[in-house]
Amino acid sequence: MSKPKNPRSEEAKKLVICISGMAGTGKSTLAKKLAQKYGLKYYSGGDALRDLAAEKGYDSLLNGWWESPEGLRFLDQRKTDPSFDKAVDEKLLEYAAQGNVLLDSWTMPWLVKQGFKIWLAASVEKQAERISRRDRMTIAESLNALKEKEARTKAIYKQLYGFSLGEDFSPFNLVLDTDNLSAEQVFGVLCMIMDKVVLQEPEKTQKEISCQ
């Protein structure tokens, strides 16, 4: 005699979490911690793009590579050749269809219909400050690199998919301002949302929550 299916177990298998945010918001570090805590498979669009860049001869595994002159050149290449982004997004969509995943991606909140979608926000000044510490740059250097990177990245997705990255928050269930929060505090808020909203009351995951 087969055991009856557990509805909560079935819901967990279908769980899809998308985390987005511009550079310097801590999204990748927090996404990895959240995936580990809740037993979700973690996939990063940025990591996949780095791997494709490495295959093309870029030294893309260096820390702070995206903001480097070489990283900016790869952004220009992606703008003229959408095959990089399309290949990554097709693979991420496959992972989303399998469920039980956390997707660290700029595009998935728009391309995936299901799931709970989180945007981590920060002022450009706070982003530059965090990047300068991470990559051992001056704040002025990190601010200039950040502006260049964001302008080119936004142009890629506007051209490819038509959405305005960092300006359109319509796909997101949660928008969290991280300016005055430590990484530990942000993680605590995300865990609270997971425990009290996403996992306990799945029907609420379609409602928008703003924490700004």
Let me know if residue 4 belongs to a domain.
no
pLDDT of amino acid 13: 62
In this structure, are strands 101-104 and 41-44 parallel, antiparallel, or unpaired? parallel
Q: For tokens 């911690």, what's the residue?
A: 33
Q: Quote the CA–CA distance of 98 and 43 in Å, as a whole number.
A: 12
Domain assignment of residue 106, yes or no: yes
DSSP 8-state secondary structure symbol assigned to residue 198: I
pLDDT in tens, 8-39: 445 556 899 999 999 889 999 999 999 999 99
Q: Give me the residue label for tokens 């690199």.
A: 145
Residue 202 contacts residue 114 (beta carbons within 8 Å): no
Q: pTM value?
A: 0.85
Q: Which range marks the domain in which residue 56 is found?
A: 10-211
Mean pLDDT of 47-74: 89
User: Could you give the number of structural domains in the chain?
Assistant: 1
CATH of the domain at 74: 3.40.50.300
- Residue 81 lies inside a defined structural domain of this protein: yes
Among 37-41, 64-68, 97-101, the minimum mean pLDDT is found in 64-68
- Residue 3 belongs to a domain: no
Overall average pLDDT of the 132-154 stretch: 88
The mean per-residue pLDDT over the stretch 127-134 comes to 88
Residue 51 lies in a domain: yes
| Number of neighbours of residue 118 by Cβ within 10 angstroms | 27
